[in-house]
Structure 1
Amino acid sequence: MSEIIVKSAKEEDLDQIINLQQTNLKRNVNLEKRKKDGYVTLETSEDVLQDMIKNELVIGAYENDKLVAYLICLEKARLDVNLDALTELQKISKQIKINGKQLNDTKYCALESICIDKEYRSKGILPKLYEYASKQLGPKYDYAIGFIDQKNPRSYHSHVEKLGFLTIGTFDDSINKATWNIVAKPLRAIG
């Protein structure tokens, strides 16, 4: 494996992001592989991805010019992008507390989606993505908030056990038929 470079994604990376997302979407991965390898629950449309790339909210990990992983961030002010889990977060953010403060009263960005190509998992890419996110977004935000489907233990383990995210709540999403763990970590402490 060559050196992995982490940087903000560019518009020319859009097709690679969509291909990696489609390959790993829950509906495209059989149950056995979902349990073993994890999956992406939320599909981000091409239009939304283009907007996020322009605003430097998509972080990519690259081997040479090949995108091998991505992390998509959403700013609190942009949580109206028609993603059901994010809409639900807005509704319940007044009820969730983190370090004694209501989540709604903090500056946070939502981690909308993280995906690592199967061939590159368990190679230290996830911490690199979050370290870059911390540098990019840490000056503007206090916390990174993520949502992990309770049926995706690989992702939950990676975030909570390996990266030290805290579980701060749960909610049921009837549209995606999922129960989400809400996890959080101070952005300045990621990595």
Structure 2
Amino acid sequence: MSVVYGRARTEKDLREILELQVKNLPDQLTDKIREQEGFLTVRHTPELLGKMNEVCPHIVARADDRVVGYALCMHPSFSAEIPILRSMFDQVRSNLPPDKTYIVMGQVCIDKDYRKKGIFRELYRTMKEVLREEFDLIVTEVDGRNRRSLEAHLAIGFRVLKKYQSDGRDWYLIIL
């Protein structure tokens, strides 16, 4: 299996990101799979995903000429675009030193047939590499119910900046 990492560049890349996203939203998964494999919280529109990509192209993993994993790049200028993420941006602004620049990793997902092959770690390594000149930190948050995702992020070096509640959920604001 040869996996190539890079930036989302084409409409096909964006379409394949959205196809993978839909397969991993909570309403598409059983309780058991959500617990064991994790889940996604946000469904992006094609328009928003495209606008985000224009500002800071997303990181993708490709195998057999298709996207099999992605880490979305969400510039802080999009802080008001997704209602469930507004509280995260408020927490970021109040908890990060004002001299630090950051990008939000807006969502990470790996195709189920490609999990446990190091793609998660490599997506973040690629993200750090290509964005290090522009941003000091990568920030994201994880739903407290998504233990799989939280453990995976902590295992690759993220640290918890703050745990907080919003929308009736516990959230972990984490940084790399």
What is the TM-score normalised by the length of structure 2?
A: 0.92
- Which of 109, 112, 118 pairs up with 1:115? 109
**Aligned length, in residue pairs:** 175
- Partner of residue 178, structure 1: 169
* Paired position in structure 1 for 2:32: 32
Instruction: Report the CA distance between 1:134 and its aligned residue.
Output: 1.1
CA offset digits 1:68-104 (Å, max 9, x no partner)? 001101112332222422x1123223442xxxxx344
Distance 1:4 1:88 in 2: 35
Q: How much identity, in percent, do the aligned residues show?
A: 25
Contact 1:8 1:56 in 2 (8 A): no
CA distance in 2, matches of 1:117, 1:169: 29
Paired AA for residue 18 in structure 1? L
Over residues 28-72 of structure 1, what are the superposed CA-to-partner deviations in whole Å (9 max), with x where a residue is unaligned? 212111001111111111111111223343111010212100110
| One-letter amino acid of the structure 1 residue matched with residue 137 of structure 2 | Y
What is the Cα-based RMSD across aligned positions, in Å?
1.6
Q: Secondary structure at the match of 2:103?
A: strand
Where does structure 1 differ by over 3 angstroms across 4 or more consecutive aligned residues? 102-105
- CA drift at 1:178: 2.6
Is the CA contact 1:11–1:53 (under 8 Å) kept in the aligned structure 2? no
Q: Relative to structure 2, which stretch is displaced further, 49-58 or 152-161?
A: 49-58
Segments of 5+ residues of structure 1 without an aligned counterpart are 97-101, 186-191
Partner of 1:99: none
- The residue that corresponds to 1:4 in the other structure is 3
User: Are the equivalent residues in 2 in contact too, given 1:111–1:145 (CA < 8 A)?
Assistant: yes
8 Å contact 1:93–1:103 — kept in the other structure?
no
Distance 1:172 1:27, change over 3 A: farther
3-state SS of paired residue (1:112): strand
Partner of 2:41: 41
Q: 2:123 aligns with which of 119, 124, 129?
A: 129
Instruction: Tell me the distance in 2 between the aligned counterparts of 1:154 and 1:129.
Output: 17
What SS does the aligned partner of 1:93 have? helix
Q: Which residue of 2 aligns with 1:165?
A: 158
Distance 1:94 1:12 in 2: 34
The within-5 A match list for 1:97-116 is 102-116=96-110
CA distance in 2, matches of 1:13, 1:3: 17
Structure 2: gaps (5+ residues):
none
